[in-house]
Structure 1
Amino acid sequence: MKLDYEYLSRIRRAVALYTNRKTSNILDGDFHSIHRGRSMEFDDLKEYSFGDDVHDIDWKSSSRMGDILVRRYMTDRRHNVMFVCDCGRKMRGDTPGGDAKKELALMTFGTIAYITGRNGADYALAYPNGNKAMVSLFRSGPEHMEKLIYDLEKNMDQDQEISVNEVIKEVMSTVHKKMIIFLITDMEGLKNLDGNMLRGITTDHDLMIINIEDAMLTGDIVYDTDVSLYEKLFFSHNKKLHEEEVRIHGEILNAASFLCKQNKVGLTSISTESQIIDATIDLLERYRHGYYGYITTTL
């Protein structure tokens, strides 16, 4: 199997720019999916931060190192992160920022998986694959990430017989462990969000949705991926059609935001590759503080 190492190289370069920022601890803090209780299996020491249990302070090591250090145990550190990625012909389009939706979705998954792996998490990937849901095992490491990206890339823009909602149902019925779930979808996926499904997920798990934004159908040069033709200027430059498109997009985003607020789901939008890390850090920070349903959009 030939892997595309360009993805890993691009991801490493992007993450390296944030080495001294918050990418080193994005999974720290309170999540429903964290393992409760105390394990006797010691893992490592970390610098004390606000909210850590003072009973975990290792005073001997703190005295020796000159900083307050707390003991971290295996159950405290390891999260199970599930990525659910939307697929289909719609991923052949572009974003308002000019990026290919397929490439941006792949890089979003790869970047967040790489960072969560560095944070000590195990992660898995689920996506539509023809008439069934493909659900991987939970593992970590660059080789695991590369294989998942390679498999997802082959299916990302192919016609699918099942929806991403059906994939989520399969994950909920087959994976019996607490999870932090990232749903990577687009405008159509937001439109088809189901409140009952979201409520069922967030009872036991953490859910964050990343919307890969869709380019407008009205503009200077518009290519219709459904019919494989450039749109006629008469339609693509029609002011009333553009206003109607903006209105419809706004309604979908507002409805999705309302559902997410109701069901304690984090929500953000990404239009370019350069936004991935900042948007993810912001999403997790807002989620921890109970700010749900917020969307950043370039409309």
Structure 2
Amino acid sequence: MSSLLTRVKSKMSIFAHRKARGMLDGEYGSVFKGRSLDFDDLRAYIPGDEVRDIDWKASARHGSPLIRRYVAVRRQTVLLVTDTGRNMAASALGGEEKKDIAVMALGVVGYLAHRHGDVVGLVCGDGTSTRCLPAKAGEPHLERLLREVNDATALTSPRSNISEQLSYVARNFGQRMLLFVVADELVPDAGMERLLRRLRAQHEVLWLTVRDAQLAGPDSAGTNSAGPNSAGTQAPATGPADRYDVADARFLPGRLATSDAVIRAYAAAQDQRDAAREAVLRRMGIAHVNAGSSHDVMPAVFSLLERHRRGK
């Protein structure tokens, strides 16, 4: 059985040269700013520093802004939160299974945490159950987490519902952590927004959305699109292939999927879903990126960490 973590590290090595990987390490290190309750010293304000760190009394005495610095906390907790329901066994935009992209993204962030001496845990599940693997250090532990996600995600799994996993985190974790959430193209409702507000007040939250395959269009393919018929076998190709929606177990006939009217309506609906998701996450102050293939993961994670650091 091939190592999932080895695959992740190979992708990271291929992604860029040493300088770029060092920048990625630096972006990860900036997520946790070493904040603790133990005051260390003061230094001059630099554009980009957080206003909340300004010591106003000391600044008034000094005549220019001064920033409070704190003793760095050496070990942080990173909690990987992901969906292992059947939605994540469907095809992604690039043609891979969405779970392969999720494993890659979780592996990249988990490995960055490992390199920085942090401990990594996992909360995963579907709409009916949630599993938790406690935070530990070491590559064997990270491999176990990735294997759990990979092996639990299948087309026969219950339907996805990341709200269940986020609710589990809200109920069971009080210590401040970095939450790295990987999910499919959900549209947060009012209940999800309240839950995210609660989590954001307690934790640092980063979010990566795995893009769905296109159900409508001449080049759409995959499961979340094409899939097994009602008898569980692959339908023969007799013209445009039927699309299969894993989440709802519904077919979209191929002749309709290539209709101009359906393509326009599908694109408009997708734009609305994307805008709604982005609006909610932006209101919560949660940095968010998309990935449609495993090739997108490294630049997406870099962008995610950068956006979080800049508060965008």
Interval of TM-score (by shorter of Structure 1 and Structure 2) = 0.7 to 0.9
The answer to whether 1:26 aligns with 2:58 is no
Structure 1: runs of 5 or more not aligned: 41-49, 54-71, 292-299
SS in 2 for 1:137: strand
d(CA) in 2 for partners of 1:225 and 1:175?
40
Which residue pairs with 1:64 in the alignment?
none
Residue 39 (structure 1) shift: 9.1
User: After alignment, is 246-255 or 148-157 more displaced?
Assistant: 148-157
The answer to whether 1:125 aligns with 2:122 is yes
Residue 148 (structure 1) shift: 1.0
Which residue pairs with 2:80 in the alignment?
83
Which residue pairs with 1:174 in the alignment?
172
**Identity among equivalent pairs (%):** 19
Alignment partner of 1:269 out of 290, 293, 310:
290
Could you say which structure has the larger radius of gyration?
A: 2
Structure 2: runs of 5 or more not aligned: 41-47, 54-69, 236-240, 243-252
Deviations, residues 199-227 of structure 1 (Å, cap 9, x unaligned): 10111211111000001112345504685
SS in 2 for 1:136: strand
Residue 180 (structure 1) shift: 0.9
Residue 255 (structure 1) shift: 0.7
SS in 2 for 1:223: coil
d(CA) in 2 for partners of 1:99 and 1:162?
18
User: After alignment, is 164-173 or 87-96 more displaced?
Assistant: 87-96
d(CA) in 1 for partners of 2:102 and 2:180?
12
Structure 2 CA distance for partners of 1:30 and 1:96, relative to 1, 3 Å = closer
Structure 2 CA distance for partners of 1:218 and 1:224, relative to 1, 3 Å = farther
Residue 248 (structure 1) shift: 1.0
Q: In the TM superposition, what are the counterparts of 1:202-281 in structure 2 within 5 Å?
A: 202-220=200-218, 221=221, 222-224=225-227, 227=230, 229=235, 230-231=241-242, 232-281=253-302
Deviations, residues 243-286 of structure 1 (Å, cap 9, x unaligned): 11111111111011111111111111001111111111111111
SS in 1 for 2:105: helix
Residue 76 (structure 1) shift: 2.6
Kept in 2, the 8 Å contact 1:128–1:160? The answer is no
Residue 80 (structure 1) shift: 1.2
Alignment partner of 2:10 out of 9, 13, 32:
13
What is the number of residues matched between the two proteins? 259
SS in 1 for 2:95: coil
Structure 2 CA distance for partners of 1:162 and 1:16, relative to 1, 3 Å = closer
What do you get for the CA RMSD once the two structures are aligned? Answer: 2.8
**TM-score, reference length from structure 1:** 0.77
Alignment partner of 1:96 out of 93, 104, 120:
93
Residue 23 (structure 1) shift: 2.5
**TM-score, reference length from structure 2:** 0.74
d(CA) in 1 for partners of 2:151 and 2:39?
40
Kept in 2, the 8 Å contact 1:129–1:155? The answer is no
Alignment partner of 1:284 out of 297, 305, 310:
305
